[in-house]
């Protein structure tokens, strides 16, 4: 894969995905090198000043009142990184660490932090060599940035701490850097502070989550279409003119997807007769565009916030364009934390509706002629009874994850940092929420596919049939009970990989 060039402007989400997940290398542009050199001159001029300047010749946070002599300033920066690398708990995923390193490098490249070009190059070299610092789950309060996670990365750049090499082997940072031919950085004035003072962890996780939600929400439309069809529902409510009466863009997109997916369905045509007594479907079927659409609009809002944050240069103090060095509060994670929480709420609600559709398949009072629990021999076999239990357990967990982290705050640094965003915590729980939503949608799709088979000889729409048929390459159709867990996991992989969506789009065309 080609290397991503980090310049003075914002990275695109696709760049972040390429580096975080695709393992792409990184290089700095000439403009970035020039801007960093210019910003560094400002810092060096202040370092020689007899007057104290925060982050350059003073301590940090509540210790900012102390003026640090010249001969102790390198130690000041090293001590800052070492003391702030205080994370604890399980390792954070490789893709998250690579995303936060890349985003910190992007801010360094603006020249607004005063970091030397050679310091920034170490980050680019580590990313290109596949060296991933070990970052721990707990430690960030999301104010003054993601201090602890970023400090672990800075510590590795100094040749200290632990990393995973390109093969995933845990190694001392000094050893891994030496093997890759990377010289550890010797931090100068302000550099330790600049390497740890950003919202890069929570922002990286936001970008990754938005990308994943775009896929799973379109797949939720696919699963909903299969459920509407196999439950003998109607697509009349998805008509464009009805949807236009409430002009939310996400709703319109979801309804258009449902119309495309259900086009030509023999099952639906079978009950479009004067004899049909169905007046209207349950909310979980009828209102799918309204809920799925609202979630889409939430993602769009989150992407707008992410775009603004990608264009930011977050540090404190910051080197302004006209050469001043000023303290500020731009490191506070509230803008990112809020949308991370908002997305977790949307994920929980879409999953809740998906579980309700699944449950309808299993109840003979509501499934319109299908066997109890879709079982082969009900009573001997349990069918998908416990698959719905699994779904319900995940949905309950998603409701707990929807409780916002960003409304919490806990004072730190002797009350200097007396209000924090908890954005890192919001991002961590959102990752779990996206995974949970993916699993819930996969179980609905698995169940709906079984129901479509049980409607034979009635034929499903071409698009939903394509999804079912592609799933059948991994999971057999109806029959006596089998070990269900591997089949659920296969369905989860089918959804998470984008294969389910691709199968639908191979017939229906691109879905919105």
- Asked if residues 422 and 142 have their Cβ atoms less than 8 Å apart, the reply is yes
Closest C-alpha to 327, from 317, 339, 314, 335:
317
Q: Which distant-in-sequence residues (6+ apart) come within 8 Å of 263 by Cβ?
A: 461, 462, 463, 508
Considering 54, 123, 283, 389, which one is annotated as catalytic?
Answer: 54
CA distance readout (Å), 246 to 231, 243, 261, 450? 26, 6, 22, 34
Tokens 């070492």, located at residue: 82
Nearest to 202 by CA among 14, 504, 415, 430: 430
Contact 206, 339 (CB under 8 A): yes
Choose among 441, 443, 506, 444: nearest CA to 213: 441
| Residues 358 and 451: beta-carbon distance below 8 Å | no
From the list 376, 378, 377, 374, the residue with the least C-alpha distance to 359 is: 374
CA-angle at 438, arms to 350 and 223, nearest 5°: 65
Q: Are 465 and 222 in contact (CB under 8 A)?
A: no
Helices within 13-170 (DSSP H only):
13-20, 30-47, 73-84, 94-109, 117-129, 147-157
Distance CA 54, CA 80 (A): 14
Q: Residue 71 has what DSSP assignment?
A: G
* Residue whose entry in the numeric block shows the structure tokens 């079927």: 285
**Annotation says 54 is catalytic:** yes
Pull the structure tokens for residue 257: 């997807």
For the chain, report the end-to-end CA distance as a whole number of angstroms.
28
Token match 């390459």: residue?
473
Looking at the DSSP assignment, which residues form a beta bridge with residue 67?
58
> Which residue, 254, 317, 440, 313, is CA-closest to 58?
317
Q: Which residues are catalytic?
A: 54
């Amino acid at each position: 894969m080609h290397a991503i060039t980090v310049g003075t402007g914002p990275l695109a989400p696709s760049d972040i995905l390429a580096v975080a997940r695709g393992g792409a290398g990184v290089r700095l542009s000439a403009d970035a090198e020039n801007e960093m050199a210019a910003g560094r001159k400002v810092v060096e001029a202040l370092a020689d000043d007899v007057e104290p300047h925060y982050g350059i010749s003073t301590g940090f946070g509540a210790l900012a009142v102390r003026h640090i002599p010249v001969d102790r300033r390198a130690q000041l920066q090293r001590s800052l990184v070492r003391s702030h690398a205080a994370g604890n708990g399980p390792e954070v995923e490789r893709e998250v660490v690579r995303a936060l390193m890349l985003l910190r490098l992007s801010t360094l490249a603006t020249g607004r932090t005063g970091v030397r070009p050679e310091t920034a190059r170490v980050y680019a070299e580590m990313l290109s060599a596949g060296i991933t610092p070990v970052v721990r789950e707990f430690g960030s309060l999301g104010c003054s940035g993601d201090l602890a996670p970023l400090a672990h990365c800075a510590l590795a750049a100094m040749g200290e701490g632990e990393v995973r090499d390109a093969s995933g082997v845990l190694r001392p940072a000094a050893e891994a850097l030496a093997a890759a031919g990377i010289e550890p950085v010797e931090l100068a004035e302000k550099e330790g502070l600049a390497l740890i003072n950003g919202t890069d962890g929570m922002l990286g996780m936001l970008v990754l989550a938005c990308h994943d939600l775009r896929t799973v929400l379109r797949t939720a439309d696919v699963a909903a279409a299969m459920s509407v069809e196999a439950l003998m529902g109607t697509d009349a409510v998805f008509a464009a003119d009805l949807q236009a009466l409430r002009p939310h863009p996400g709703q319109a997109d979801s309804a258009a997807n449902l119309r495309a997916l259900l086009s030509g369905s023999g099952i639906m045509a079978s009950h479009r007769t004067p004899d049909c007594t169905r007046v209207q479907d349950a909310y979980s079927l009828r209102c799918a565009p309204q809920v799925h659409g609202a979630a889409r609009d939430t993602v769009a809002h989150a992407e707008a916030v992410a775009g603004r944050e990608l264009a930011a240069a977050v540090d404190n103090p910051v080197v302004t364009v006209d050469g001043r060095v000023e303290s500020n509060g731009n490191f506070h994670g509230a803008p990112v934390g809020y949308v991370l929480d908002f997305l977790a709420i949307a994920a929980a609600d879409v999953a809740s509706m998906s579980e309700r559709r699944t449950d309808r398949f299993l109840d003979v009072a509501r499934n319109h002629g299908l066997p109890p629990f879709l079982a082969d021999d009900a009573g001997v076999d349990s069918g998908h009874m416990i698959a719905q239990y699994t779904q319900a357990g995940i949905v309950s967990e998603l409701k707990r994850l929807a409780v916002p982290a960003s409304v919490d705050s806990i004072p730190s640094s002797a009350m200097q940092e007396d209000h924090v965003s908890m954005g890192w915590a919001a991002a961590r729980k959102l990752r779990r929420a996206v995974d949970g939503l993916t699993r819930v949608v996969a179980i609905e799709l698995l169940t709906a596919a079984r129901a479509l088979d049980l409607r034979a000889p009635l034929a499903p729409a071409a698009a939903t049939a394509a999804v079912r048929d592609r799933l059948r390459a991994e999971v057999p159709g109806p029959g006596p009970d089998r070990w269900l867990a591997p089949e659920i996991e296969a369905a989860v992989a089918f959804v998470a990989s984008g294969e389910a969506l691709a199968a639908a789009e191979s017939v229906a065309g691109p879905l919105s």
